[in-house]
Amino acid sequence: MNTEDGVPNPLHVSVVEELRSQLNNNNIEGIGRINVTKNSVDITGVGTEFLEDDEDKRIIIGGITYIIKEFLSPTSIKLTTPYKGESASGIRYSYGAKLVGEPWEVRIPTNLVKLDTESGII
């Protein structure tokens, strides 16, 4: 339980949130449901609360990650790429992180390294 006498305790971590974090799944479930059309960038919602700040944010639909290109209204957005799945109504979605800065590419093998200063290995 995350509360003591009904008051949230910041020292208690939700087991679900801890597992999601360990699995690198920090997605947030979206409000309402969305309607999608195969090969379309247009998404409409019922009970959704899309925001202008959602532009450039990842949106996960049916396990596939897309990027929100444009906010049109609290119930309508456009994606950067067309929806690949089958057309459907009233489906769940979740939000991922917002993209910041220019994209970059990692090539393997890479010269990127992780420094472990605690063990003394650099």
Cis peptide before 109 (omega within 30 of 0): yes
Q: Indicate the number of domains in the chain.
A: 1
Give per-residue pLDDT as tens, 14-53. Answer: 665 665 555 555 678 899 999 999 999 999 999 999 999 9
**111, pLDDT greater than 80:** no
Q: What is the CATH number of the domain that holds 42?
A: 2.40.30
- Rounded Cα gap, residues 109 and 14, in angstroms: 38
| pTM confidence score | 0.64
Give the span between the Cα atoms of 49 and 73, in whole angstroms.
Answer: 8
Q: Determine, yes or no, domain membership for 48.
A: yes
* Per-residue model confidence as pLDDT tens digits over 54-109: 999 999 999 899 999 999 999 999 999 999 999 999 999 998 878 777 766 767 77
Give residue 67's domain range. 29-98
